[in-house]
A and B are shown apart, each in its own frame.
Chain A
Amino acid sequence: MEIKKIVVLGAGVMGNGIAQVCAQSGYQVNLRDIKDEFVQSGISKIRKFLSGSVERQRMTQAEAAAILGRIRSLTDLKEAVKDVDLVIEAIVEDINIKKEIYKELDQICRPDTVFASNTSAQSITEMAMATKRPDKFIGMHWFNPAQLMRGIEVIVHDKTSKDTMNTVVDLCKKLGKEPGVCKDSPGFIVNRLLQIWYNEGLNMYDEGIAEPQDIDTALKTAYNFRMGPFELRDLVGLDIGIASTTTHYRELMREQFRPPRCLIMKVKAGDLGRKTGKGFYEYKSGS
Chain B
Amino acid sequence: MKIGTVVIIGEGELADKLKQLLGKANLKVLVADLKADYAKQVSEADLVMEVAPEDIAAKKKIFKSCDAKCRKEAILATATANPWVTQLARATKRPDKVIGLNFTENPLEEKYLVQVVKGLQTSDETVQAVMELLANVGITAVKLEETPGFILDRVIASVVNEAAVMYSSKLATKEDIDNMMKVCVNWPMGPFEFADSMGVDKIVEILDEMSQQLGSKYQPCFLLRRMVDAGWLGKKTGRGFHVYS
Could you tell me if A180 and B179 are in contact, using CB atoms closer than 8 angstroms?
yes
> Is B92 in contact with chain A by the CB < 8 A criterion?
no
Check A219 against B155 for contact (C-beta < 8 Å): yes
Task: Give Cα A204–Cα B145 distance, bound, in whole angstroms.
Answer: 10
Contacts known (A193-B191, A201-B155, A224-B109); A183 close to B142, Cβ less than 8 A: no
For residue A58, CB closer than 8 A to chain B, the reply is: no
A178-B183, A182-B172 given; A256·B162 CB < 8 A: yes
Chain B interface mostly: mixed
- Check A222 against B180 for contact (C-beta < 8 Å): no
B159 CB contact (under 8 Å) in A182, A193, A224: A193
Chain B residues with CB below 8 A from A253, complex form: none
A284 on interface, CB distance cutoff 8 Å? no
Interface check A215, CB cutoff 8 A: yes
Write the chain B residue with the least CB distance to A143: B184
Chain A residues within an 8 Å CB radius of B143: 210-211, 214
Chain B residues near A267: list those with CB within 8 A. none
Q: Interface readout for B142-176 with A: 1 if CB under 8 Å, 0 if not?
A: 11110100011011101100110010001111001
Residue from the set B108, B158, B180, B189 with the largest chain A CB neighbour count within 10 Å: B180
User: Is A192 touching B158 in the complex (CB atoms < 8 A)?
Assistant: no
Query: Does A262 belong to the interface (CB within 8 Å)?
Result: no
Q: Which single residue of chain A is at the shortest CB-CB distance from B218?
A: A256
Contacts of B162 on A, CB cut-off 8 Å? 192-193, 196, 256
* Residue B188 is within 8 A (CB to CB) of chain A in the complex: yes
- Number of B interface residues, CB 8 Å? 46
Give the complex CA separation of A270 and B91 in angstroms. 48
Instruction: Flag the segment in A7-15, A90-98, A145-153 that touches B.
Output: A145-153
CB distance from B102 to the nearest CB of A (A): 10
Contacts of B222 in A (CB 8 A): none
Beta-carbon contact of B113 and A218 below 8 Å? yes
Q: State which residues 99-130 of B face A: CB under 8 Å.
A: 104, 106-109, 111-113, 115
Q: Are A190 and B217 in contact (CB under 8 A)?
A: no
CA distance A197 to B109 in the complex (A): 22
- Chain B residues positioned under 8 Å from A215 (CB to CB): 142, 151
* Residues of A in contact with B, size category: 35 or more
Q: How many A-B residue pairs have CB under 8 A?
A: 133
Residues of A within 8 A of B185 (CB): 143, 190, 194
Q: Which residue of A lies closest to B143 (CB)?
A: A214
In the complex, chain B residues whose CB is within 8 Å of the CB of A226: 186
**Which residues of A lie under 8 Å from residue B180 when comparing CB positions?**
151, 153, 180, 182, 189-190
Q: Give A240-270 interface residues, CB cut-off 8 Å to B.
A: 254-256
Given contacts A180-B176, A208-B145, contact A221 B158 (CB under 8 A): no
Q: A189 touching B108 by the CB < 8 A rule? A: no
A283 at the interface (CB under 8 A from B): no
Task: Out of A149, A200, A208, A223, name the residue touching B154 (CB < 8 Å).
Answer: A200
Give the distance in Å from the alpha carbon of A222 to the alpha carbon of B162 in the complex.
21
Q: Which of A213, A217, A222 has the most CB of B within 10 A?
A: A222
A207 at the interface (CB under 8 A from B): yes
Contact of A204 (CB < 8 Å), options: B151, B181, B186, B217: B151
**Is A209's CB within 8 Å of the partner chain B?**
yes
**CB-nearest residue of chain B relative to A189?**
B180
CA distance A219 to B104 in the complex (A): 11
B85 CB to closest chain A CB, in angstroms?
A: 13
Contact of B155 among A151, A181, A197 (CB under 8 A): A197
| Given A153-B184, A224-B109: A182 and B140 interface contact (C-beta under 8 Å) | no
Check: B177 CB closer than 8 A to any chain A CB.
Answer: yes
Q: Please give me the residue from chain A that is nearest to B155 by CB atom.
A: A200
B187 CB–A CB distance under 8 Å: yes
Closest to A149 in B: B184
Given A217-B142, A222-B113, CB of A149 within 8 Å of CB of B183:
yes
Given contacts A181-B176, A214-B144, 10 further A-B contacts (CB under 8 A): A151-B179, A180-B180, A193-B162, A194-B185, A200-B159, A210-B143, A217-B140, A219-B152, A219-B155, A223-B194
11 A-B Cβ contacts within 8 A? A180-B177, A180-B179, A182-B180, A183-B170, A189-B166, A200-B154, A204-B144, A214-B151, A223-B107, A224-B108, A254-B217
